[in-house]
Chain A
Amino acid sequence: MQGRKIFKGKVVGEALVTGEDISFYGGCDPETGEIVEKGHHLEGKSIAGKVLVFPSGKGSTVGSYVLYALKKAEKAPLAIVNRIMDPVVAVGCIISEIPAVDQIEIEKITTGQKIEVDADNGVVTLIE
């Protein structure tokens, strides 16, 4: 799938997919990588080390620093794949150096699937 590069990098990993937007500030524990927003589809799940696939970001601009905190705590997602990248998440990926791609049809990806994110070329490939 051809999308758009937001931040460079090339990784292979397991997808964690949600159809709901994510607010990193207040919605994700910066120390554990667990989604803590009440009633969120991923509540209780950890995003650490996963290729995190979701439509877009929402909420406070402090969210960028939460992604940075996750990276420092080694709990950041391996890569981020969005339908439309929100500037707060984009800035978060850039300052934390997390490979990120958007303009991807995320419905085609399912949780647990092994996928390759080639952010340099903006390409996401389903491996299994």
Chain B
Amino acid sequence: MVLELTSEEREMLEGKHGKATRKAMEIITALGEIYGAKRLIPVSSVQIAGVSYDNLGEAGLEYLSEMAEDGQTRVLTTLNPAGMDMVEWKKHGISEEFAENQQRVVDAFEKMGVVTTCTCTPYLIGNLPHFGEHIAWAESSAVCFANSVIGAYTNREGGPSALAAALTGVTAEYGLHLNENRFAQVRYEVQTELKETNDFGFLGQVIGNRTGKAIPYIVGVKKATTEQLKSFSASVATYGGVAIFHMEGITPNRTTIPDKTEVVTEEDLKQAQIELDDEEAVIDFISIGCPHASIKEIAEIASMLKGRKVSDGKTVWITTAKPTKDLAIKMGYYDQIEQAGAYLVADACCAVAPLKGRFTGLMTDSAKACFYARGKNKFKTEIRTMKDCIREAVS
């Protein structure tokens, strides 16, 4: 065996730290062997995916319950979105049966010591690694943001392997944990100005589709907000297999600059929008917050909805993390949004909630949300700026 273990790691594998820890260590060492890791390394933070009961099903829940019998997290661990707002689910039209099962999933995680706020943007609510820190995150958009924008080190984990890292505090050293695998491979020259957040979604879509798994080095983006980088990360990871990117003047990682250059024009971004706009879409569902909306975005939406009314036949979900929702309640944004007839939904999102069959057409500002709305829920989609989405809601 090339993979060398410390005595404590070997003890975990032998079952001396309990059943769940043994299973977790089996997963980590197997992955380490498959990818030729020489050793395991400590991680300081974990983000777990596979939380919505809609995706997990009974079998997934059963696995988690089994792990929860004696498993305990060793590092800060947070959760991906669940299938519903864990408090206000009833008014969002979630069934009692689903709610009960979703609660069982969250309870199993809580028993293991996971911080059970459910969000795809853990970095906005206190699970924020720093540059150079090794972590084990699932959730492709957060993985991409952590590696690229923050400069932390993580592979793209799946649900069980992220949980395994949480229970052992380690991960195998391979892939994006090694500097040599983080260099850019293709240079993308952006020859148009990006204005709105959804423009960054389009750019992610264009680059993701073209680059596949080749790491991009992007030039020509003059400035970007955190919200725009969150949108770009989600999109590039959804449409490509990219778990890290470099953006000149914006992201902190060191890299060589590849010679191979591709050009991204305004026409390419327009084409990306056309691809996400279904001609026959009848919009009855508007959702903002993929990835989860920041407090800044919520403030903007609240000011647009204040004193207005969502028109009949339309449902509006603004999805966010629970701590951000609590802050929005304190600031009065929640009341402005809800009095207009829209919902500020915590913990969940339009991609993982059980929404199939409830709506026919989604309008959103997120290229990633369009992908899942079409594939999983069979909705028609239209993508617009956040402002245009809210205008559509009250039109």
Q: Which residues of A contact B (CB under 8 A)?
A: 4, 6-7, 30, 61-62, 64-66, 68-69, 72-73, 85, 87-88, 90-91, 94-95, 102
In the complex, are the beta carbons of A88 and B58 less than 8 A apart?
Answer: no
In the complex, are the beta carbons of A64 and B57 less than 8 A apart?
Answer: no
In the complex, are the beta carbons of B30 and A6 less than 8 A apart?
Answer: yes
For the complex formed, measure the closest distance between the CB of B60 and the CB atoms of chain A, giving whole angstroms.
4
* A residues less than 8 Å from B63 (CB atoms): 65, 68, 95
Q: Which residues of B contact A (CB under 8 A)?
A: 23, 26-27, 30-31, 33-35, 49-50, 55-60, 62-63, 138, 157-161
In the complex, are the beta carbons of B158 and A64 less than 8 A apart?
Answer: yes
In the complex, are the beta carbons of B62 and A72 less than 8 A apart?
Answer: yes
In the complex, are the beta carbons of A94 and B59 less than 8 A apart?
Answer: no
Query: For chains A and B in complex, what number of residue pairs have CB atoms within 8 angstroms?
Result: 67
- If over half of A's interface residues share one DSSP class (helix, strand or loop), that class is named, otherwise mixed; here it is helix
- If over half of B's interface residues share one DSSP class (helix, strand or loop), that class is named, otherwise mixed; here it is helix
Known: A62-B50, A65-B63, A90-B34. A95 touches B57 (CB 8 A): no
In the complex, are the beta carbons of B138 and A61 less than 8 A apart?
Answer: yes
Given contacts A61-B50, A68-B63, 13 further A-B contacts (CB under 8 A): A4-B33, A7-B26, A30-B57, A62-B158, A65-B59, A66-B59, A69-B58, A72-B59, A87-B31, A87-B158, A87-B161, A90-B34, A95-B23
Question: In the complex, A85→B33 CA distance in Å?
Answer: 11
Known: A6-B30, A61-B50. A68 touches B161 (CB 8 A): no
* A residues less than 8 Å from B27 (CB atoms): 91, 94-95
Question: In the complex, A112→B138 CA distance in Å?
Answer: 39
Which of A7, A61, A73, A88 has the largest number of chain B CB atoms within 10 A? Answer: A61
